[in-house]
Amino acid sequence: MKTYLITGGAGFIGANYIHYLMKNKQNIQIINLDNLEYSGNPENLKEVEELSHYRFLKGDICDRELVCQLFHEAEIDYVVHFAAMTHVDRSIESARPFIHSNIEGTLTLLEAALEAWETDGQFPGSKKFLYVSTDEVYGDLRAEGYFTEDTPIAPRNPYSASKASAEMLVRAFGETHGLPYHITRCSNNYGPYQFPEKLIPLLIHNCLRHAELPIYGDGQNIRDWLYVEDHCSAIEAVLKRGKPGAVYNIGGHNEKTTLEIAEIIVDYIHDHHDPAVTRDLIRYVADRKGHDRRYAIDPRKTREELFWKPSVTFETGIIKTIQWYLENTEWLSHVVSGEYLEYYERHYGSKTKPDAIYNVPYKVDTLRRRVPCL
């Protein structure tokens, strides 16, 4: 019987990972430590909350007393550390909370794991600390090439800098104290339960309420998209077969521009759900500061060493995702209230008209200062 401590398990990827474990693994215990800040949502886990091998603990990874007590009371085998502030735009607005949660929170977990697991410089073979990082730590790619695990770390925004810093701490605890760890760097995820501040759920949500679809800059920034369940299976493969102290890239070679994503979503909703949703909703807005142009993962090492490969193509995954949001409008309406409204107005309400007009068949416009239909 393995006991998993999952941090941030009420967030998007964490919740999907818990569902994945419940579906695919037997004889495990799960402890979910989550502070339920704006993007963590207990509704994401309502199907599992009554299960006897699942325990939810509301708390902050920066709370040293709580985290140490947890490690002493529970025989934790695996830490799978998702908890983080993750939205680049919010980190541009205010970096400090990212430093606190993402770096200090990771340090707190590392210290607690070290204290609970180490005896005379030795760690029991069953213990593993897996840090869920991101391809964004590599920084920006131009048109050519891919990130490999050996690409130098060069984060370019406060969010990715905080993730890179936390990685360095994990590595330092491994090198200095021998703490058994793995680091995973995944490309952009999409799927159910993603908070609608990120591109794909934001576009779906705006289509459903006939609001404009804000596309930063020229819409040609590229991201490499992976269906969240494939990320979950990769994490399991790393825990099972990963080499101690190794970094693994996770991705599925699904590069798409922002504009392509918007078109796919609009067209699907237009054809299958609501003919009133058309490409006319697409609006170019002022670009993100320091906007990374392209991310693209080379996942060869993970495929070859761990025998992992993605099972969901983008074409299938995006339809599953849109359908999930169409079927879960109640979930959506709960999460887009309160803090979300304030964030949306603060961030998008002030976006100004970009200087250039792009050579694409859409109107260049500013997003309305107010979003009355919210």
List the one residue out of 161, 199, 233, 221 whose CA is nearest residue 13: 233
54, 159, 190, 344: the catalytic one is 159
Q: What is the DSSP letter of 205?
A: H
Is residue 229 part of the annotated active site? The answer reads: no
Is residue 271 part of the annotated active site? The answer reads: no
Q: Are 226 and 254 in contact (CB under 8 A)?
A: yes
Partners of 188 in the β-ladder? 225
Give least dist CB 68 to ligand TYD, A: 32
Structure tokens at 312: 């969901």
Give least dist CB 3 to ligand TYD, A: 31
34, 60, 136, 197: the catalytic one is 136
Is residue 167 part of the annotated active site? The answer reads: no
Closest to ligand TYD by CB, 21 vs 265, is 265
* Euclidean distance between CA atoms 21 and 186, whole angstroms: 18
The residue type of 62 is C
At residue 351, the 3 state secondary structure works out as coil
In the chain, DSSP assigns E strands to 2-7, 28-34, 54-58, 78-81, 128-134, 181-186, 188-190, 213-216, 222-227, 247-250, 255-257, 282-285
Closest to ligand TYD by CB, 128 vs 283, is 283
Give least dist CB 52 to ligand TYD, A: 36
* Euclidean distance between CA atoms 249 and 293, whole angstroms: 19
Give least dist CB 330 to ligand TYD, A: 23
Closest to ligand TYD by CB, 77 vs 255, is 255
34, 60, 135, 218: the catalytic one is 135
Closest to ligand TYD by CB, 110 vs 204, is 204
Binding site for ligand TYD (CB under 6 A): 88, 136, 188, 198-199, 202, 214-216, 221, 223, 258, 288
What residues are labeled active site?
A: 135-136, 159
